[in-house]
Amino acid sequence: MDSNPDLESFREQWRAEVRARNSGASGPQQPTTTSSHAESSGPSAPRYSRTAHLSSGKPRVQDTDEDFVEARTFDAPEPAQDVRHDNQGKKEPVTALEHYERAVEKEDQGSLGDSLQLYRRAFRMDHKVDQKYKNKYYAAAWAKPLQADKATAPPAAQDSVQSAAESKPLTTEELIASFADLSIEPAQPYIKGMPQSPCPISELPEEIIVHILQDVAVADVGAFVGLSRVCKRFAWLVATEDSIWRQICLGPKFGFTGMHYDFATAVNWKPLAEERTLLDDPDEAVRRREEEAYATSIALLNTTYHSWQRMFRRRPRIRFNGCYISTINYIRPGQQTNSLAWNSPVHIVTYYRYLRMFRDGTAITLCTVEQPANVVHHMTREALALHKGGAMAHLPSGVMQHALRARWRLSSAADRSADLEEGKEVSLADSEGDLFIEYDGGGNYLYRMELSLRATGKLSRNNKLMWSGFYSYNKPADVWDEFSLKEFKPFYFSRVKSYGFGEF
């Protein structure tokens, strides 16, 4: 029988595919990935009283920004009593890439056990799924820009390359400055050829528009910044109208008048009656604190920030419209067996630390294994009082029976008095940026957390708390002990809509 050319070509193609598959199976199947975690080092000077007691002379903590976690926003309504916030509304992954994407999402949430299982399933389905994930989300990061070869390009192409190099993109400051002479224009009609809709606000004097923007900023600074997306004229006013930013910085709602640079209450939230004289009253203390905050803000404006907008963005401050969450994972050995198998079971344990600060200088701290979606809506004073002593533990807010009362304050120049006495030069801006939290853990011990306000990127500021020190104080023995910070992770701010702007 004569050989069929089509059949022979099919056989050769099939043999080539078999040889390629066998050669690929002999290589490595699962790539390994490594991750590095920065450890906090060098706690700053703690202060139970005005004098430093443990960590004077230690270097300030350095933020390597390797533990970045995207901040979450809990804008959903308060969960129902019989509903658990898992991934109920999400579709189950099918492909290897979907399993890998879900694993990355679980890893960002701190659920390393679930993410590990999803990673294994993804690599079993496709051993190159990590490359597909990188090509989907990060291909533009390493893509090389096309460069014209001037030696071989024609003269017309060389002129176009030269003109493109000369037209560099404007910086943000230059772009905002180009909006200065623009006016408010009405919106374009939906149908071409139809007359434009009226725009009454474009007829108002600029003084009236600035007054309207100022009222919006005092009510909600986020809505005020959002007005910059309306038109280019609004963007210029929001970015350059320093009188509005001055009122924001000096106001108690969003500004630095609401910050505390001295403890305002005792650890158990009782007034500091022992530190007051008969001539002092609460109104006088508030007025004195506002005067000190105003004087400090004016000094920092003239020496460091040079504009109220830059001060609001860069100066350390506490946010009250959410809470700070730290996710900690550690590995615990599994049950011991008499098997001679090469592998032994391990458990990946995940727990969380929560911090919520209030405007009066009090705070709530909680350490639990409950996930944030089941905790943040219950971090209130009412829930803390309801579950005092373990009462009503059957309620969804029963996790608050483990919460503790605390107090907080920010650092100031008074905390660097030891450096000043030694003749060291300390600027007012460098003395700020540390957060001190003290709480009573029960019994004879008082605990003190020392944290540093940091940023998670170029745009997000004051939403990360780095550990500087963690101490316990034995009250009867008057002895301080320091904990190791090796296993502790930073706190990240998460907005909670049910908190509003914080309690007043």
Determine, yes or no, domain membership for 4: no
Residue 490 is predicted with a pLDDT of 95
Residues 443 and 388 in one domain: yes
Residue 331 is predicted with a pLDDT of 85
pLDDT higher than 60, residue 65: no
With cut-offs at 50, 70 and 90, classify the pLDDT of residue 279. Answer: very low
Residues 233 and 376 in one domain: no
Give residue-wise pLDDT tens across range 248-259.
Answer: 999 889 999 889
Q: Which residues of 8-36 are buried (b: 16+ CB within 10 A; e: fewer)?
A: eeeeeeeeeeeeeeeeeeeeeeeeeeeee
Residues 490 and 423 in one domain: yes
Pairing of strands 404-410, 346-357: unpaired
Q: Are 391 and 403 in contact (CB under 8 A)?
A: no
With cut-offs at 50, 70 and 90, classify the pLDDT of residue 343. Answer: low
With cut-offs at 50, 70 and 90, classify the pLDDT of residue 11. Answer: confident
d(CA 8, CA 20): 19
Mean pLDDT of 358-363: 94
With cut-offs at 50, 70 and 90, classify the pLDDT of residue 47. Answer: very low
Residue 467 is predicted with a pLDDT of 96
Question: Considering 118, 133, 148, which residue would you say is the last residue of a domain?
Answer: 133
Residue 381 is predicted with a pLDDT of 93
Determine, yes or no, domain membership for 148: no
For the chain, report the end-to-end CA distance as a whole number of angstroms. 96
Determine, yes or no, domain membership for 402: yes
- The more confidently predicted of residues 175 and 372 is 372
d(CA 261, CA 291): 13
- Residues found in the chain: 504
Residues 278 and 215 in one domain: no
Residues 228 and 274 in one domain: no
The percent of the chain in helix, strand and coil, each rounded to the nearest 5, is: 40, 15, 45
Q: Which of 164-173, 290-299, 378-387, 473-482 has the lowest mean pLDDT?
A: 164-173
Residue 434 is predicted with a pLDDT of 94
Q: Which of 136-145, 167-176, 180-189, 361-370 has the lowest mean pLDDT?
A: 136-145
Residues 323 and 236 in one domain: no
Q: Which residues of 109-118 are buried (b: 16+ CB within 10 A; e: fewer)?
A: bbbbebbeeb
Tell me what percent of the residues of the chain surpass a pLDDT of 70: 76
Mean pLDDT of 71-82: 56
Mean pLDDT of 85-90: 51
Q: Which of 218-227, 245-254, 451-460 has the lowest mean pLDDT?
A: 451-460
Supply the range of the domain harboring residue 268: 255-334+346-503
Residues 236 and 113 in one domain: no
- The more confidently predicted of residues 52 and 426 is 426
pLDDT higher than 60, residue 30: no
- The more confidently predicted of residues 89 and 463 is 463
Mean pLDDT of 128-151: 70
Which residue from 46, 50, 51 is spatially nearest to 275, judged by alpha carbons? 50
Determine, yes or no, domain membership for 460: yes
Q: Are 468 and 462 in contact (CB under 8 A)?
A: no
Mean pLDDT of 406-416: 90
Residues 292 and 235 in one domain: no
Report which secondary-structure segment, H or E, holds 108. helix 96-109
All residues at 6 or more sequence positions from 458 whose CB lies less than 8 Å from its CB, including other chains: none
Tell me what percent of the residues of the chain surpass a pLDDT of 90: 41
Residue 46 is predicted with a pLDDT of 42
Residue 273 is predicted with a pLDDT of 66
pLDDT higher than 50, residue 102: yes
Question: Considering 240, 267, 283, which residue would you say is the last residue of a domain?
Answer: 240
Tokens of 287: 């007025």
d(CA 372, CA 495): 11
Residue with tokens 């029963």: 398
Q: Are 425 and 406 in contact (CB under 8 A)?
A: no
d(CA 394, CA 482): 36
Determine, yes or no, domain membership for 261: yes
d(CA 243, CA 241): 6
pLDDT higher than 60, residue 49: no
d(CA 383, CA 69): 28
Determine, yes or no, domain membership for 455: yes
Tokens of 36: 């590095």
Question: Considering 240, 269, 295, which residue would you say is the last residue of a domain?
Answer: 240
pLDDT higher than 60, residue 57: no
Give, in degrees to the nearest 5, the angle at Cα 327 between 322 and 329. Answer: 170
CA quadruple 103, 106, 108, 113: dihedral positive or negative? negative
Q: Are 436 and 411 in contact (CB under 8 A)?
A: yes
Residue 58 is predicted with a pLDDT of 57
Residues 263 and 210 in one domain: no
DSSP label of 4? P
In a 13 Å sphere around the CA of 76, the CA atoms on its Cβ side amount to 9
CA quadruple 426, 432, 434, 436: dihedral positive or negative? positive
Residues 235 and 260 in one domain: no
- Give the SS3 label for residue 357: strand
- CA 46 from chain center: how many Å? 24
Q: Are 218 and 210 in contact (CB under 8 A)?
A: no
Rounded to the nearest 10 degrees, the angle between the axes of helix 206-219 and helix 242-250 is 20
Residue 33 is predicted with a pLDDT of 39
Mean pLDDT of 97-123: 87
With cut-offs at 50, 70 and 90, classify the pLDDT of residue 305. Answer: very high
Residue 487 is predicted with a pLDDT of 87
Mean pLDDT of 407-431: 82
Pairing of strands 445-454, 434-440: antiparallel
d(CA 327, CA 489): 7
Report which secondary-structure segment, H or E, holds 421. helix 417-421
| Total domain count, the chain | 3
Determine, yes or no, domain membership for 247: no
d(CA 105, CA 274): 50
Q: For the purposes of burial, counting CB atoms within 10 Å of the CB of 491, is it exposed (0-12), middle (13-18) or buried (19 or more)?
A: buried
DSSP label of 1? -
pLDDT higher than 90, residue 244: yes
Residues 177 and 234 in one domain: yes
Type of residue numbered 124: R
Please tell me which of 27-41, 122-136, 419-433 the model is most confident about, judged by mean pLDDT: 122-136
pLDDT higher than 70, residue 196: yes
Residue 35 is predicted with a pLDDT of 39
Determine, yes or no, domain membership for 202: yes
Bridge partners of 349, per DSSP, are 330
- Report the chain's mean pLDDT, rounded to a whole number: 80
Residues 220 and 265 in one domain: no
